[in-house]
Amino acid sequence: MDLIDRYVAAIARHLPDKQAADIESELRDLLMSRQEEQEAQLGRGLTAAEVEALLIAFGHPLTVAGRYRTVQYLIGPEVFPFWWAAIKVMLAVVAGVYLVLIVVGMLTDATPSQFNRSVPSVWYVVIYLFGMITLVGLGIERFGKTQALQRWRPRNLPPAGGKQRSRFEIGAEIAADVVFIAWWSGWIDFSNIMPYPGALRFDLAPIWAAWHWPILGYAVAAIVANLTAIARPGWIVGNTVMLTARYLAGMVILVQVMAADHWLVVSSPTLAPRALAMLQTNVDLGMRIGIGLTIFGMATLVVLAWWRLRRALRSQAAAPRAAAA
């Protein structure tokens, strides 16, 4: 019963809100009827593996949900639901990235021409990614590899109940990490839209160059972990372990970085040396507090992730007991 509930809930997440409740009830009744028919033939209850086989034969949740949509398919019906899910994730990430960049531009009073010189056109990015995803979908169908999309297990679906990170939350993290990697790698130059106030100049201290690759690796690993969380939401233990590992790695990096004397180098051709030294001290204090709060925030997110995992596992364990009662 727990596998059927998880399966039906996974389908409902990809249905229009107005139809989800009715279709969910219809599918649950249909699947329960098929399970009862098999149990009557065997003269016993189905094992978990046999229930899984029944659900696998019924179809992947994205494929089943696609049967209830009226969208005109751009590619084959077997591949289309997966293509459409990838397009929605891509659009959410691109929207998040450009929202961050637009906010930065507004806060710095950047002109449109300054913004366009620093950031690639959103239409170019969307069309390029749309084309790449479509080519991948066409390639899968053209070479007869659609069966690879059907390799799934009901046990990997998320619990029907329990609180998990939302797709919006995960997508926002991916967007922020994409912007950070683009800036950290030098692909986006904010100096054109973020002029230094007055005669002051702020540059990264040498400590950041020493940790350039570990920090870049952390950001890439964060994107991989979040994409895995979207692709395999039912892998709740594995996703929690990956989240914990990357936050612990981030905390280790920040602890090492925090050991430096300062993190931003303040310079000015007009300020007196004493005033510049005082400003440098204040900037260092603010950076130390900020890094400390970031470490604390990462530790809090680890605790929250394990709390969510505990609730999800308890909800998953309670489902069979409720069905038996």
**Tens digit of each residue's pLDDT (9 = 90 or more) over 110-131:** 555 655 566 667 677 777 778 8
Lowest mean pLDDT, pick from 72-76, 90-94, 181-185, 315-319: 72-76
8-39 burial code (b ≥16 CB/10 A, e <16):
bbbbbebbeeeebeebbeebbeebeebbeebe
Q: For 127-181, write each residue's pLDDT tens digit.
A: 777 888 788 777 777 666 666 666 666 766 666 655 566 666 777 788 788 888 8
pLDDT at 247: 92
| Residue whose tokens read 């809090």 | 300
Contact 220, 181 (CB under 8 A): yes
Q: How far apart are CA 111 and CA 105, in angstroms?
A: 8
Instruction: Point out the least confidently predicted range of 162-171, 181-190, 211-220.
Output: 162-171
